[in-house]
Amino acid sequence: CIIRGSQVYHSLILSLLAVLVYTICLRILKRALVVNPEIISACLTVLMFLISRQYNHRMLLERPITLSLIFVGVFLYVLIRKKNYWIFLVPLIYVFTYSVTFMIIIPAGIYFLSGLLSNKEDFRYGIKALWLSFAGLATGIVLRPDSYNYLLNAYGSHFLSIYQSLTESMYVFIPDEFSSTYELLEHSYSLWYLAFGIIFVSLFIKSLLISKTDPDKRNLLFLNATTLFFIALYAVFFRAIDYL
Mean pLDDT score of the chain: 83
User: For 206-243, what is each residue's pLDDT tens digit?
Assistant: 998 988 888 888 899 999 999 999 888 877 777 777 88
Beta bridge pairs of residue 237: 178
pLDDT at 25 over 60: yes
Do the beta carbons of residue 184 and residue 190 sit within 8 Å?
yes
User: For 161-201, what is each residue's pLDDT tens digit?
Assistant: 667 666 665 445 555 555 544 455 555 556 777 888 889 99
Mean pLDDT of 20-25: 91
Mean pLDDT of 146-171: 71
pLDDT at 62 over 70: yes
Mean pLDDT of 156-161: 71
User: For 33-48, what is each residue's pLDDT tens digit?
Assistant: 999 999 999 999 998 8
Per-residue pLDDT, 178:
52
Q: What Cα–Cα distance (Å) separates residue 228 from each residue in 202, 235, 243?
A: 11, 11, 11
Kindly state the percentage of the chain with pLDDT values over 70.
87
